[in-house]
Structure 1
Amino acid sequence: MSAVRPVLPLWAASLTAVVGGFALDLSFPDVGWWPLAFVGVGFSLVSLIGRRAGGALLVGLLFGASFWFTHVDWTSRYLGVVPWFALAGLETAIMGALAIPIALAYRWMPRVLPGAVGRLLVLPALAGGLWTMRELILGSWPYTGFPWGRIGMSQSESPLAHLSSWVGVTGLTFLIVFFVAAAIQWIREARWRAVVTAVPAAALAMILLVVPAFPTTDAGSLTVGSVQGNGPSGYFDRRERGAILNAQLAASAPLFGEDLDVLLWPEGGIDSDPLSNAATAATLDALSERVDAPLIVNAATERGDDIFNTSMLWEPGDGATQLHDKTHPVPFGEYVPDRDFYAMLAPDLIGLIGREYTPGTNAPFFDLNGVGVGLAICFDVIYDDVVWDGVRDGAEVYMFQTNNADFRGTDENLQQLAFARMRAIETGRAVVNISTVGTSQVIAPDGSTIDSLPADTAGAMLTEVPLREGLTPAAIIGSGVQAVIGWGSLLALMVLGGFAFVRREKN
């Protein structure tokens, strides 16, 4: 068997790549058939084995297109096909280009390490590393990147999710791809009686299935009231001034007279700036006094020449005592990078984005009367640095605020909720995920659901939320895992290419 011969002819590899992309999308909510992530990865890798750069680019583009154009079709709900095609097209192009390094690994490794160790262990590890490197690039570039399609995030309902507490979501992606690549290599060996050939794949399967979640320490509980107002909070919703605030106030009424430690509202739960609007500030003061507890609320705030998406810890009489501004405003959603350039391409669409949110630099953390609260505003839940900074600063619980109103009835809502669940498991912390319109949930540190509100329904939860102490390995070494896998796999490929060139020249 030639290790560099394509497993499939190009036409079959192209079809396989397309099916693989669809399968990977189905592993995410709303379908959420998590085993299909393994199918999607497997089909993609098989389509790349033995391919030269041009063929790898083609099948990589086909895989990326079938995944991304289905995975983020919710972006077209209100703004039409242009944002959908722009985002999915960009992600597809990057995914296609970065399929080439994976194909090169399959071509070069047999020349440099033709033995069983190279074929069955080193090559699958490198394939897993290069796939993970691609995810890291997609999640950080261009601008702030878009880490929405990470394989590890598809496993929120699977028995493998607990591994993220050890190696983070990035490490979970690596292990899944490593396992699939090792299984493919074992099948390609076709030596069923040689038990040793199954050892790498079998060992990885044991790791995936047997390793438990890293335990964190019980630190008591916090009584949290969280309110989903279901107000007119979509970008194009028609509303009168103060309509969102009034909806949140009305939905908070069942909590009046209850004993709670904090009242949590979602992103955009206030449609005026309480830092500059005295009437709004007075309303929040009255609410805080009525529930006899601090508030964690969110609004667009203006400070100097800058506008921020701001979460506030509001104390009665003292106002906003602590602030956290969204770390990663969404490009083309909350601001327009290189606005003059893109305005020339799509002036009407760009003109709809009136505000220019400034990235925040303050910590995603509040000290709530001695209890550490980690924060993430809407899409910030997908960025590792925000979540890890909160827990490293001392968060004992997370409170995620979001506004899904622009994506009512789409997969976005449940995908983001799944990401919040993965963050709970990864950090060993409970998560209160509150939305303007739903779905809102309180998630336990093991990923199970403690409390919930259905979508498109006004309501309030009063929940005894567990607190946890102690850092998971993911929170401690997560950035190191990313650096080792990302830069390490790229360096390994470069070294491999050098040796392969020397071997070819000698021959």
Structure 2
Amino acid sequence: MTATTRAASTRAGARRARDEFDPTPWPAALVCGIAGGGAALLAFPPYGMWMLLPVSLTLLGAGLLVRSVWVAILVSLAWGAAFFIPLTAWANTYAGTAPWVALGVFEALYIVLFGLLARTVMLRRGLCLTSAVVVSALWVGVETLRSHVPWGGLPWGASAFALADSPLLNLGPWIGMAGLAFVVALLGQLLLHGVLSLLGRRHRGLVGFAGVWPLALAVGAILATMVVPHPPNPAPQDRGTMTVAGIQGSMEKIDPATMTMPDDVFENHLAVTRETIEQTRAEGRQLDLIVWPEDSTGYDPRQDPRMSDQIGSAAADAGAPVLIGTQAAVGETQRLNQSVLFAPDGSTPYVYSKRHPVPFGEYIPYRDFFRTLSDKVDLVPRDMIAGDEVGVMDLEALDQGRHGVGVLICFEIAYDNLVGDVVRDGAEVVVVQSNNALFGDSHEAIQQLAEAKVMAVVSGRSVVHVSTVGHSAIFTPTGRRLDFVDHWEQGAVLADVPLRTGITPAVAAGPWIAVGLCALGLVGFLAALTGRRRALAPLPSRRERNRS
């Protein structure tokens, strides 16, 4: 070998040593984006193929490994649109097609943000363990941002909510929503590293069959979570249970043109309540609490003596308070979404006002501007305002035992900060009142029920989820389902619900798990910007192209 040949070989070897992987051709990258978003959708209810969520992030990562940043943006947008538009199809029921698609595209923009950040890290740092950790932390950061910004955010489609039937959920009470998102993203990165190695697209580090190790590690990690114990309850175990009945009275379908509650909603819930009281009396059981769903009275029964008397009579007959859901007018243009407790003596000793109204569903931000885009905004004639008190009621004053009951309304169950608030304020059990009739036959109801199960495990509290038309269910702190009523059926969920007072590590940590992971992602991204190394293999020279 001549000196010139050796020098050329040395230069080529040095250049190859700096190369990490071959770029993804742009047509394949776009396919990865679309397929990845579709795989993410299948990971969520009603499909429930949770194992596809890490795969979807693997496909997204592969699609980002392109030379053109514009192609990477298109890949990210395609992934987000393929996921969020069908996932939020329930919005089409009341908002119409254009606002629904706009919501899906807006949520997809967060995936574009993640794609740009993740691509920068992978291209500058290469495919190594540190880049995998940073990219996973960036996923947590963007998901946290999406869940809280703007207007309080929308955590629908958060990674943890795909894990309702996954062994990974056993990690939930330890690491919370943010930690679960990090684990899912890290599994996706491990799969990406392994697959690229097996396909021969990596040129240093784990190459060839060495790529089996990341795949085996990912599978082994999932299997290991099957034996992760739930946190011990440091409080005395004699808290026992309380007997709760959740009433699903059902109703006729809501007219999407007017969004008016059907007239039969109150009578149906009253009838099912009386049937449930008779059932428990025949079984020799004493009810501690009866829960009606959100909007279960049609309008505020405190303004109608007849309705108040009937609810109070049912409470007296059961010997247990009835928690109903209603709306209360505030002035001429506003309203409150409230839970009202009717005691057996007919009084209403407790009222909770929803703290997190849903933008565009319960109130219209910048109403005049958005009216120019769609007349659907006028279907919400009164803007809902937020309550300012955490929803925890103590039933001790009603001689129902010393039970702290946390109250959340509808979409509030999707926000881990709201769930954490009621637990830290003394809730031993959490009830969720929802009106899923607004979303017709869409998948919104089953998606929300999965959120309730995940939050039961993360918070270490039983969750009684009650809907006007379903799905309704009761979950224990370990995620076991005690009772269930299906969509558009009439009935009640009834169980002796376990009470807990201990605080899970996830709840005790509050926002700090998310804050820590977000900080890790930000620091890792900034560190990647300071490096000059490029991980993409160089384009072949003109001579090499001609030779080929």
- TM above 0.5: yes
Q: Higher mean Cα deviation, 232-241 or 298-307?
A: 232-241
Greater CA drift, 313-322 or 223-232: 313-322
Identify the residue that residue 89 of structure 2 maps to in structure 1.
73
Q: Pick which of 17-26 and 76-85 moved more.
A: 76-85
Question: How many angstroms does 1:278 deviate by?
Answer: 3.5
* Distance 1:280-1:303 versus aligned 2 partners, 3 A rule: farther
Change in Cα spacing, 1:3 to 1:181, as seen in structure 2 (3 Å) is: farther
The SS at the match of 1:345 is coil
**Pick from 500, 503, 511: which aligns with 1:479?**
511
Q: 2:249 is matched by which residue type in structure 1?
A: G
- How far, CA to CA, are the matches of 2:385 and 2:395 in structure 1? 25
Give the residue type in structure 2 aligned to 1:255.
T
| Counterpart residue number, 1:371 | 403
Contact 2:134 2:520 in 1 (8 A): no
Cα separation, partners in 2 of 1:429 and 1:5, compared to 1, 3 Å: same
Matched, 1:82 2:104: no
User: Which has the larger displacement, 490-499 or 397-406?
Assistant: 490-499
Shift of residue 296, structure 1, vs aligned partner: 1.3
Identity of aligned residues (%): 30
Aligned partner of 1:106 in structure 2 is: 122
Q: Letter of the 1:284 partner, please give it.
A: I
Structure 2 vs 1, CA of residues 186 and 253 (structure 1 numbering), >3 Å: closer, same or farther? same
Correspondence list, 1:404-483, <5 A? 404-483=436-515
Query: Is the 2:301–2:307 Cα contact (8 Å) retained in structure 1?
Result: yes
Q: Helix, strand or coil for the counterpart of 2:243?
A: strand
**Equivalent of 2:230, from 204, 208, 213?**
213
Choose which of 203, 220, 231 in structure 1 pairs with 2:251. 231
Provide the TM-score with structure 1 as the length reference: 0.91
Change (3 A) 1:161 1:196: closer
**Count of equivalent residues:** 494
Indicate the residue corresponding to 1:274 in structure 2: 301
Q: What CA distance in whole angstroms lies between the structure 2 residues aligned with 1:51 and 1:475?
A: 42
Q: Is the 8 A contact 1:261 1:294 kept in 2?
A: yes
Aligned partner of 2:203 in structure 1 is none
Is residue 180 of structure 1 aligned with residue 208 of structure 2? no
Which one of the candidate residues 10, 32, 37 is aligned to 1:21? Answer: 37
**Structure 1 residues 318 and 89: CA distance shift in structure 2, 3 A:** same
1:101 is displaced (CA, Å) by 0.3
C-alpha spacing 1:286/1:3, structure 2 compared with 1 (3 Å): farther
Q: Is the 8 A contact 1:272 1:280 kept in 2?
A: no
CA distance in 2, matches of 1:462, 1:489: 45
Q: CA deviation at 1:52?
A: 4.6
Q: Equivalent residues in 2 for 1:89-128 (5 A)? A: 89-110=105-126, 119-128=127-136
| Paired residues of 1:215 and 1:428 also in contact (CA < 8 A) | no
Conservation of the 8 A alpha-carbon contact between 2:56 and 2:188: no
Partner of 1:505: none
Unaligned runs of 5+ in 1: 111-118, 503-507
Distance 1:12 1:318, change over 3 A: same
**Quick one: which amino acid aligns to residue 252 of structure 1?**
T
Q: 1:58, 1:345 → 2: CA distance?
A: 25
Native 8 Å contact 1:376 1:399 kept in 2: yes
> Per-residue deviation at 1:431?
1.1
Query: What does residue range 30-429 of structure 1 map to in structure 2 within 5 Å?
Result: 30-110=46-126, 119-187=127-195, 188=197, 189-190=206-207, 192=209, 204-205=221-222, 208-216=225-233, 218=237, 219-232=239-252, 234=254, 236=256, 243-257=264-278, 258=281, 259-303=286-330, 306-317=334-345, 319-346=347-374, 348-369=375-396, 370-429=402-461
* TM-score, normalised with respect to structure 2: 0.84
SS at match of 1:319: coil
Deviation at 1:199, TM superposition (A): 9.2
Deviates more, 1:69-78 or 1:194-203: 194-203
- 1:10 corresponds to which of 8, 18, 26: 26
Give, as a single letter, the amino acid of the residue that structure 2 aligns with 1:298: G
Task: Give deviations 1:50-72, integer Å, cap 9, x for gaps.
Answer: 55532321110011111111211
CA distance in 1, matches of 2:506, 2:21: 39
Q: CA RMSD in A?
A: 2.6
Offset at 1:170?
A: 1.6
Task: Give, in whole Å, the separation in 1 of the partners of 2:440 and 2:267.
Answer: 20
In 2, the alpha carbon distance for the partners of 1:328 and 1:180 equals 32
Deviation (angstroms), 1:206: 6.3
Unaligned runs of 5+ in 2: 1-15, 198-205, 397-401, 535-548
Q: Secondary structure at the match of 1:433?
A: strand
Separation in structure 1 between the aligned mates of residue 455 and residue 214 of structure 2, nearest angstrom: 36
Deviation string 1:89-110 (CA, Å, 9 cap, x unpaired) is 1111222233100111101214
The structure with the largest alpha-carbon Rg is 2
Q: CA deviation at 1:356?
A: 0.6
In structure 2, how many angstroms separate the alpha carbons of the residues matched to 1:46 and 1:82?
A: 31
Q: After the TM superposition, which of the residue ranges 320-329 and 411-420 deviates more from structure 2?
A: 320-329
Residue 450 of structure 1: CA displacement?
Answer: 0.7
